[in-house]
Structure 1
């Protein structure tokens, strides 16, 4: 049998994967926040802000949210070999790849079959990232790579010779491209289309009798000015005023275009032929598209067909491309009322991602929350959201920012474009401590920080059961199917207790029993599976591992440099005698 070969990205430590403990999430009600009053009937309160390591948080979400997240936007560390204020952002390539791979693996599980992943990155790791994502999502599910202009070649950037970097990139993947159905998104054109130079003078008359004058004539007449010397009379505001006039009168602003005769057929071709034989305007009515008008073999194109509703205003629009150069980052320091140097992304950028891939009520996720832009934008757009952040800026930046959004006090960013007035809320969670700890003799025991309910929920998650305590049956604390249940107790169960449990469960159901100890032979009860805790879960996870993030000084690269220095000192001590330790 021949092994199939495939292209893949390899790196040191690729085969090493963390054995994650699926922690439970604990709400801190004091930090959760809700609007003081209901703003709309569709207010969303059950958004989640999770404080803690994002890999553990993603694992904690996996059981409940697998296949339910419609869109993920992440802005991971760019690996630019610089230590920023809030991030240690200088990770060795192999370590960085492992960090991203472990998180993307879980993120893919969370995304719905028709969902989308957006990864924001710069050119330092772009090539490696694409190959890595091709492996995880499948190359066939790669949608595109967007170039995002996030600066200009000015200031200190323009001093050095060579190519000035002004862009980042957003890599798009679908969970399943065959099911992916993006929304149509348009961007505003910066300039008026000057080809539309004619104006229907008698627009209210029957279309067959329409008369055309020049756009300049119509504009001059609207200002009560003669055409001669019009630009000079209007001055510097000429183009702005003319553009406003065109938009306001878009159904009457037109141009004539000769159709590609070979590319049309049927009624359209017949109408073109007929228009050559008359001076009247002919009309072809269509059910699913706008009507077509012809005169003298040419088609009449209306400026109104170019207008799109963008951010609440009708403007000339064009389909979204892979070059996003209209969302500059030069004023984002004011967004959200917080400072986050070199780490904040424009709200308009996140809004565009969500416009492309989501609708009202969809669930979005950002596991590198940073300053909280994703949650702020999702909230204003009526999307449900989950954000994860480990840094203390979760409390100093994100929470105050979201409170302003909820209270309707955030007037910046995309507030006006979305028509946001305030409302909704979020729940704040922290990741529970490790379920197991060691006693003073080095034995694994259940952590004293867990109460009975938390212990039950944690063990349900570890064993793959849904935590759902029954109000009437004490032994029904969770279920995996309609007939398979779990019961957890820290007591020692005797033979009589096991017999009573077996009787209650009956022959049509099964019960997994986790207890501190048991007496007798539980195997004689065919509807019970009895296991001791913590021994039954010891091998499942890495216990007491609370931080899977990376610290710059602890990277293998730094360790190797330290080891090299020690070897040099050992081999040539005289060279280091006069140096500080």
Structure 2
């Protein structure tokens, strides 16, 4: 396969307009693999009772299709660090998987930088995966993609096609290293491109979590508070400290003032941005009705942005800064502890921080992964674009940085973010287990994160016939993977019970009757025993009971879920019942 323009006879049939053309553009949206069983591995899981974080080993396209039932339109933030197509051991491509997404990828080979079809192969690899990611994104979801200049142009055009150019939020330049090698242009940066699924549903302004410098300044203030009791001397010492470090503080150098509550800056935040603001007078003693009364400060042109009661509360709390002259407008104290930065188009962050983190977790001699991204970079992106309970997906988990960053963010701000990490690794090194799971476990133990994760492996393909031949433990995994009551949050699997196999986030139980395709009837005895188990486990009803047939009408206490139809519908699989199985089912129903 070589990179070249479409033959004229084929390009004429393409729709009008400007497009990125390559061999494979016509078929990438239809490259949908069959869903797989996602099987839990207890040995590789760690503290899985603490949240619903997932680490999944397997081809990311096959896995994402298998996640659609519970995670379609649920992911808030996606961060991916896909192959840059540098050549060498960077990008593995399987032509068999391009032709058939269900192929095992055993023909995968690294793509060299002299391969005439390297860009086409990269596009054929990325396009169906980006489509799958979009299907998992919530309506207000955002995706970040790291890339360098090799594929930047093609990636932007591909993202414009899949997400629509109107949903492009921006391109971030990340300056992460200093290049002193002889070169025409010394490359010291990479890019992070950002798109929304629907930009109208994304907040118009983002703020970032408190950065490390802010925490350092607050620690220095606490030390000053203990060592200098005199208020005036303390204020003078703080101003000198900020001036001395002004260049390194960036925007934080404005916080040069202090009171007993901490460092602050005087902010012009009392003004109403539009006409029609509140009209009242402000004096050093408090709020008055008359805007021209003796001792009142000048009223902003559009009035004040909040009512008189709020202004009085701010005055009582010491949050208002009174200027030297009455002709001036009062200001507010903007405390450093409340500072949240903005996500900017240029980020300066040492790229070596990614490797330093791995050495911290695995020892100073660790050298098992190249180009690990810094935790701080992912914290910045996820913290800006997602809420504190965001669901975060990384389909190119690599060394596991995104999971590390999500746990770190939660630890800092008390968030409840969750992550889904997918990584196949290579035949030589399946590093979902050798690196990602090990790294996350080490991070939890080293930093004391209150977190855990469930490790899943990619099993057999799922269709009607395959489902009906599964053993009980496998069909339990499929139900916990597909049950619709687990949308966004997943199903917590419960082991060791006769009937109950899991529970959703609301605490409602799931139960299973499985003795094969023709002998798995839900009857009164099963229902009563399952209800007793549910009560003993402290779970709620209605129970969703899976089986092939049911001879009892549904009540408020239970819902019958027919196997395999319930599973097939959840997986969006439409197929024809094989004649022999149909006959067996009819006989059992009779």
The question of a shared fold, defined as TM-score above 0.5 by the shorter chain, is answered with yes
Q: What pairs up with 1:247-266 in 2 under 5 angstroms?
A: 247-249=257-259
Q: What pairs up with 1:312-391 in 2 under 5 angstroms?
A: 319-325=342-348, 327-336=349-358, 337-338=361-362, 339-380=367-408, 381=410, 382-391=416-425
Q: Out of 64, 67, 72, which is 1:61 matched to?
A: 67
Q: Out of 433, 436, 444, which is 1:406 matched to?
A: 444
Q: CA distance change for structure 1 residues 53 and 223 in 2, over 3 Å: closer, same or farther?
A: closer
- TM-score with structure 1 length normalisation? 0.59
Maintained 8 Å contact 1:246/1:253: yes
**CA–CA distance in 1 between the matches of 2:550 and 2:210?**
66
Q: What pairs up with 1:453-464 in 2 under 5 angstroms?
A: 454=474
Maintained 8 Å contact 2:79/2:144: yes
- The residue number in structure 2 matching 1:393 is 431
Maintained 8 Å contact 1:26/1:429: yes
**CA–CA distance in 2 between the matches of 1:176 and 1:256?**
33
Q: CA distance change for structure 1 residues 366 and 301 in 2, over 3 Å: closer, same or farther?
A: same
Query: Cα RMSD over matched residues?
Result: 5.5
Maintained 8 Å contact 2:57/2:457: yes
1:297 aligns with 2:308: no
Q: CA distance change for structure 1 residues 3 and 349 in 2, over 3 Å: closer, same or farther?
A: closer
1:426 aligns with 2:453: yes
1:9 aligns with 2:20: yes
Q: What pairs up with 1:97-116 in 2 under 5 angstroms?
A: 97-116=123-142
1:74 aligns with 2:100: no
- TM-score with structure 2 length normalisation? 0.59
* Alignment gaps of 5+ in structure 1: 36-42, 192-216, 311-316, 411-420, 437-444, 489-500, 515-528, 536-581
Maintained 8 Å contact 1:23/1:56: yes
CA deviation string 1:445-499 (max 9, x = no partner): 969995256369769999999997655993579xxxx9xx9976xxxxxxxxxxx
Q: CA distance change for structure 1 residues 309 and 45 in 2, over 3 Å: closer, same or farther?
A: same
Q: Indicate the SS of the match to 2:76.
A: strand
Q: Out of 42, 45, 67, which is 1:29 matched to?
A: 42
**CA–CA distance in 1 between the matches of 2:404 and 2:334?**
33
Q: What pairs up with 1:190-201 in 2 under 5 angstroms?
A: none
Q: What pairs up with 1:561-576 in 2 under 5 angstroms?
A: none
Q: CA distance change for structure 1 residues 301 and 455 in 2, over 3 Å: closer, same or farther?
A: closer
Maintained 8 Å contact 1:256/1:301: yes
Maintained 8 Å contact 1:275/1:296: no
Q: CA distance change for structure 1 residues 245 and 127 in 2, over 3 Å: closer, same or farther?
A: closer
CA deviation string 1:495-545 (max 9, x = no partner): xxxxxx798899xx997879xxxxxxxxxxxxxx8534799xxxxxxxxxx
Maintained 8 Å contact 2:282/2:297: no
Q: Out of 150, 166, 175, which is 1:124 matched to?
A: 150
Q: Out of 49, 52, 59, which is 1:46 matched to?
A: 52
- The residue number in structure 2 matching 1:498 is none
**CA–CA distance in 1 between the matches of 2:550 and 2:342?**
65
Maintained 8 Å contact 1:49/1:429: yes
Shift of 1:422: 2.3
Q: Indicate the SS of the match to 1:319.
A: coil
Shift of 1:57: 1.1
Shift of 1:350: 0.7
Shift of 1:333: 1.7
**CA–CA distance in 1 between the matches of 2:350 and 2:76?**
27
Q: CA distance change for structure 1 residues 149 and 271 in 2, over 3 Å: closer, same or farther?
A: same
Maintained 8 Å contact 2:521/2:551: no
* Alignment gaps of 5+ in structure 2: 1-12, 93-108, 215-230, 284-289, 315-319, 411-415, 487-500, 502-509, 524-541, 555-559, 566-575, 583-590
* Structure number with bigger Rg: 1
Shift of 1:28: 1.0
Q: CA distance change for structure 1 residues 151 and 187 in 2, over 3 Å: closer, same or farther?
A: farther
Shift of 1:109: 0.9
Maintained 8 Å contact 1:187/1:320: no
Shift of 1:346: 0.7
Q: What pairs up with 1:141-180 in 2 under 5 angstroms?
A: 141-152=167-178, 157-180=179-202
Maintained 8 Å contact 2:355/2:371: no
**CA–CA distance in 1 between the matches of 2:147 and 2:372?**
13
Maintained 8 Å contact 1:283/1:293: no
**CA–CA distance in 2 between the matches of 1:170 and 1:26?**
33
**CA–CA distance in 1 between the matches of 2:64 and 2:235?**
64
Maintained 8 Å contact 1:115/1:175: yes
**CA–CA distance in 1 between the matches of 2:246 and 2:14?**
70
Maintained 8 Å contact 1:48/1:426: yes
**CA–CA distance in 2 between the matches of 1:395 and 1:268?**
64
- The residue number in structure 2 matching 1:531 is 578
Q: Indicate the SS of the match to 1:46.
A: coil
Shift of 1:219: 6.5
**CA–CA distance in 2 between the matches of 1:331 and 1:461?**
36
- The residue number in structure 2 matching 1:246 is 256
Shift of 1:142: 1.4
Q: What pairs up with 1:199-218 in 2 under 5 angstroms?
A: none
Maintained 8 Å contact 2:266/2:334: no
Maintained 8 Å contact 1:187/1:319: no
Q: What pairs up with 1:496-535 in 2 under 5 angstroms?
A: 530-532=577-579
- The residue number in structure 2 matching 1:202 is none
1:451 aligns with 2:471: yes
Q: CA distance change for structure 1 residues 6 and 460 in 2, over 3 Å: closer, same or farther?
A: farther
Maintained 8 Å contact 2:297/2:328: no
Shift of 1:393: 2.1
Q: CA distance change for structure 1 residues 178 and 79 in 2, over 3 Å: closer, same or farther?
A: same
**CA–CA distance in 1 between the matches of 2:66 and 2:454?**
15
Shift of 1:163: 2.1
Maintained 8 Å contact 1:282/1:293: no
CA deviation string 1:47-100 (max 9, x = no partner): 111111111111111122101111111110111223259994657111111111
* Aligned positions, number: 433
Maintained 8 Å contact 1:82/1:89: yes
Q: CA distance change for structure 1 residues 293 and 534 in 2, over 3 Å: closer, same or farther?
A: farther
Q: CA distance change for structure 1 residues 353 and 15 in 2, over 3 Å: closer, same or farther?
A: same
Shift of 1:320: 2.9
